[in-house]
Amino acid sequence: MPAFLTRLARRVRATVAPIPDIGADLWLQTLHSYPFLSALPLADQGKLRALSALFLHRKEFTGAHGLVVTDAMAVAIAAQACLPLLHWGEPGQALAWYDDFVGIVVHPAEAVARRKAVDEAGVVHHYDEVLLGEAMQDGPVMLSWPAVQGAGREGHATSVVIHEFVHKIDMKNGGADGSPPLPPGFMGTANARAAHAAWRAAWEPAYEQFRERVIIAERFGGEWPWLDAYGATAPAEFFAVACEAYFVHRERFAQEFPTLLPVLDALFRPAQELQAK
């Protein structure tokens, strides 16, 4: 069957076919495995369960290098992937943010990607990059299963799933640059231009301050910041790493980045922001 007919058939099934539920035992197992999910209010847990079930109905999982993706693995990924969408309307509306792809490839360990870079002198360099995850523009998402399992463990505010799916959200208005599409009336602004100006006013100084802290730690032995230092490599990575911490350890994130907390609340909890006004 041609690819466009396959996509059409999938959309029809997603529209008219009943969505299977995630079994109670499997869902409780998932919540138990990830404390930042079990800490959600019961109403939000129910919404996340429904959203995750629809996500599983629309996506296709593939195990790399012989890995068998079990139901438990798929639900763990789905729940974390859907967490940023929890307050973005009905499940079908929210999941439209992930409509540019279907495939999720799960690796049994870190993946190694062959890269090419051209320096200022025009010399081409080839190198290997070790990856825990990767989100491709209009393409699939790759995840390392051990990294998925390690989300929120040992006090670390990390989730490779949230990281890569936030990149997908960021890519909705072009390449990932740390400036995602913003909801109407974002932080009380009157138009899109003002909304993005408010976004930049919060994120640009926070990113520069974080980069400076990482540089001091690397070069002069200063204290390493709590947030993953990978966020200092680019604004898009800082946004993704910050979102990991926001969802996995909200209280500590609020302490570390008090100026960014209301900005992320305005992005990920727009209904609550409007009710508060």
Whole-number pLDDT of residue 230:
95
CB 265 within 8 A of CB 273: yes
- For 25-34, 46-55, 120-129, 197-206, which range has the lowest pLDDT when averaged over its residues? 120-129
Element (H or E) spanning 47, and its range? helix 42-58
Rounded to whole angstroms, how far apart are CA atoms 50 and 95? Answer: 11
Q: What is the CA radius of gyration of the chain?
A: 19
Say if residues 138 and 100 touch (Cβ distance below 8 Å).
yes
C-alpha 21/C-alpha 8 separation (Å) is 23
For 124, the 3-state DSSP assignment is strand
User: Would you say residue 2 has pLDDT above 90?
Assistant: no
Return the pLDDT at 191. Answer: 95
Specify the range with the lowest mean pLDDT, choosing from 3-17, 94-108, 127-141, 180-194. 3-17
Name the amino acid, one letter, at 128.
Answer: D
User: What is the spatial distance between Cα 93 and Cα 231, in angstroms, rounded to a whole number?
Assistant: 30
pLDDT given for residue 99 in this prediction:
96
- d(CA 235, CA 224) in angstroms, rounded, equals 19
Which pLDDT score is estimated for 127? 61
> What is the token pair recorded at 259?
């100026």
Mean pLDDT of the chain: 89
Does the pLDDT at position 254 exceed 70? yes
